[in-house]
Chain A
């Protein structure tokens, strides 16, 4: 079984006593306890300002298959990591999912989320502001069946 683990440590002094939280999870396929995620995509791209782009397509139209495959990511236990590597703190990217705004990643920020991609409209979309943003991303997923070209 392939093994992917994701750990986080969170600390803050905003409370009266210092808060420190640590968590680790092993990323499994949906609904299973013995079978780990076994495929991944990892990329680094520049996002220019202005247009909204599909960073990850729920029908994989922007992924390794290069053309849409309906339902290929649907209802899986996919995990998505995105980091904005821009060094200017005023630069940011807006993250959306199926036109619903999620939030902004400013230079230096990262996020890690599950992505069920319940239908082919559930693309993860990204729009850059301030200047060209440098984005690193990784998708850990359950695998997909290649189609004939």
Chain B
């Protein structure tokens, strides 16, 4: 076994759209070798607006020292708080100072990362209401 990710998208927006179902095995950049490192699966509780680092790329005390510009990937999900998932408010996920998009309650993302020291992954809740983010990053160890 290795590290794998499967996505399934179904939609009735467009008649005839058959959906999307794809899998990938996470490998080191440009090779067929399995990716070898992870932050582990973690949660982060947020209770105030303002961007904070979810993953600090140069935080070697946190054992995250990625090889730059390879095939790192991160999964992030807004899991609400104490079993309550609010679809009407969200948490903006960004890279460095650039906002990517907002994860509303229950929403998830999977995206590649550069792993460059300055390109931290940030999260910024829309309100001061408590919300919990779960995440795991896979990367190549430097």
Which A positions have Cβ atoms within 8 angstroms of B? 2-15, 18-19, 21, 23-28, 30-33, 37-40, 42, 77-79, 81, 83, 89-90, 92, 95, 97-98, 100-106, 108-116, 118, 138, 140
Contact = CB atoms under 8 A, between A and B. Distances in A.
B100 A97 contact: yes
B86 to A, nearest CB: 8
9 contacts: A12-B26, A28-B87, A30-B104, A39-B13, A89-B30, A102-B100, A103-B72, A113-B110, A116-B92
B26 to A, nearest CB: 8
Contact of B102 (A27, A83, A116): A116
A100 B20 contact: no
A111 B100 contact: no
Main secondary structure of the interface of A (DSSP, over half): strand
Interface of B: 1-14, 17, 20, 22, 24-27, 29-32, 35-38, 40-41, 69-73, 75, 77, 87-90, 92-93, 95-104, 106-116, 119, 136, 138
Given A102-B113, A103-B113, A32 B7 contact: no
Given A15-B38, A89-B27, A106-B27, A83 B22 contact: yes
A65 to B, nearest CB: 17
Given A8-B110, A40-B11, A115 B101 contact: yes
A45 to B, nearest CB: 16
A77 to B, nearest CB: 6
A116 B136 contact: no
B87 A14 contact: no
B88 A14 contact: no
Nearest to B108: A23
B104 A40 contact: no
B38 to A, nearest CB: 5
B3 A14 contact: yes
Nearest to B74: A103
Contact of B41 (A6, A13, A21): A21
B11 A3 contact: yes
A114 B116 contact: no
Which one of B4, B5, B73 has the greatest number of beta carbons of chain A within 10 Å?
B5
Given A89-B31, A112-B7, A114-B103, A8 B108 contact: yes
Contacts of A89: 27, 30-32
